[in-house]
A = this chain, B = another copy of it.
Amino acid sequence: MSQTPIAARGRATIYDIAKQAGLSAATVSAVLNGNREKRRISSETAKRIEQIAATLKYSVNRQASGLRKSRSGLIGMLIPNHDTYFFSSTSQAFERMARERNLCPIVVSTLRDPKLEVETTKTLISYQIEYLIVTGATDRDGVSKVCQQHGVGHLNLDLPGTKAPSIISDHFWGAQALTEELLRLCKPQKMPDRDKLYFIGGIATDFATQRRIAGFTAAIQKSTAGAISADQIDTHGYEAENAAFAITKLYESLGGLPKGLFINSTMPLEGIAQFLRTLDPAELAGCTFGCFDWEPLATFLGFPLLMVRQDVDGLLRKAFELIDTNQLKTNHVFEIKPSLVIPLSVGGAQKVNMA
């Protein structure tokens, strides 16, 4: 079989090598996979085969070997989008850890579209991916169902599901720590309504937002401030424009900035920053700002900003730990603590970490 000359097909196969070496394909295969010991192939033979493989520019066809072995060496990850720092750094860490395990990473973004999530999952499964990490998806359980039907090990990251293990940030802890720090650092205001912390951004029904509000509320209730009122929380979406609108309204109704602001994620932060640029820099000094989420440039906005930085490496380390130890059949939720990043200009220490 495979008598066609190489040139006609473009790619050399193990049969081409076998023929040139006067050996069988089985021997060539064993050498090229490092299975020499099992077959006790002499190192000369091995060397000769490797030599020929090199001159023929042989490259294994993983479609063929994968088909035969029923293993693809592929691992997939779904993310909402690439162009947000949290997700792009997630891709970066995912890739590194996949490579450490000799798996080829495939990252695909599905734009938080439930249909696209399920479709993409099916596509990845048709390529025989061995595992799937489902990050920030909308229809997590739908994706789980498809994976289960095809026996693909998978887990949720960032947002929890009910049909697979989930690894998420400890939003409650992070929000509470950030709020406590805001309370500690902010300057008291005369006017009662301005002498409060306000929460801006996110969606009230959204899991992460809920947990963050819970942490925010808990910290305030634990403090001398005591009570918290509904008008301290504005969850009109993640879009920058909505946050800009919210802060504008708040500023107008309070007659100035409040003593502190809890900004829920970097998108709303953009809207807030946009508004703050219209203010006199002196005004900003009266307000202490905190943001749940981190990105490099945010450190250098016109005002000091406390940030909660999710532990991307920790999240993925846990994910691969579950994969490595075959713990993909549960639906446990693992919470990973983020860290609180405090700029020098505010705190004194650059970073205050974990509890």
Contact flags A135-178 to B (C-beta < 8 A → 1, else 0) = 00000000000000111000000000000000000000000000
Partner of A126, one of B61, B266, B303: B61
Residue of B nearest to A150 (CB): B59
- Interfacial chain B residues near A104, Cβ < 8 Å: 106, 108, 123-124, 127
Contact indicator B122/A109 (Cβ below 8 Å): no
Contact indicator A62/B109 (Cβ below 8 Å): no
- Interfacial chain B residues near A41, Cβ < 8 Å: none
Contact flags A84-118 to B (C-beta < 8 A → 1, else 0) = 11001101100100000000111111000000000
- Interchain nearest-CB distance for A95 vs B (Å): 6
Residue of B nearest to A106 (CB): B106
Check A345/B107 contact, CB under 8 A, given A300-B270, A301-B301.
no
Segment of A216-224, A290-298, A329-337 in the binding face: A290-298
Question: Does A63 make an interface contact (CB < 8 A)?
Answer: yes
Contact flags A234-270 to B (C-beta < 8 A → 1, else 0) = 0000000000000000000000000000000010011
Question: Does A81 make an interface contact (CB < 8 A)?
Answer: yes
- Interfacial chain B residues near A10, Cβ < 8 Å: 150-151
Check A82/B88 contact, CB under 8 A, given A59-B125, A270-B300.
yes
Total interface residues in chain A, CB < 8 Å = 57
Segment of A14-22, A64-72, A199-207 in the binding face: A64-72
Of residues A269, A277, A345, which shows the largest number of chain B Cβ atoms within 10 Å of its Cβ? Answer: A277
**Total identical chains:** 2
- Interfacial chain B residues near A25, Cβ < 8 Å: none
Docked complex Cα distance between A10 and B148 (Å):
10
Contact indicator B270/A63 (Cβ below 8 Å): no
Contact indicator B85/A83 (Cβ below 8 Å): yes
Contact indicator A108/B95 (Cβ below 8 Å): yes
- Interfacial chain B residues near A353, Cβ < 8 Å: none
Residue of B nearest to A126 (CB): B62
- Interfacial chain B residues near A61, Cβ < 8 Å: 67, 126, 128
- Interfacial chain B residues near A277, Cβ < 8 Å: 300, 345
Docked complex Cα distance between A152 and B66 (Å):
20
Question: Does A46 make an interface contact (CB < 8 A)?
Answer: no
- Interfacial chain B residues near A66, Cβ < 8 Å: 63
A residues 263-293 near B (Cβ < 8 Å) are 266, 269-270, 273-274, 276-277, 281
Contact indicator A92/B85 (Cβ below 8 Å): no
Docked complex Cα distance between A345 and B273 (Å):
14
Using a CB–CB cutoff of 8 Å, the interface residues on chain A facing chain B are 10-11, 57, 59-64, 66-67, 72, 74, 81-85, 88-89, 91-92, 95, 104-109, 122-128, 149-151, 266, 269-270, 273-274, 276-277, 281, 295-303, 345
Closest 3 CB pairs of A and B: A302-B302, A273-B300, A82-B88
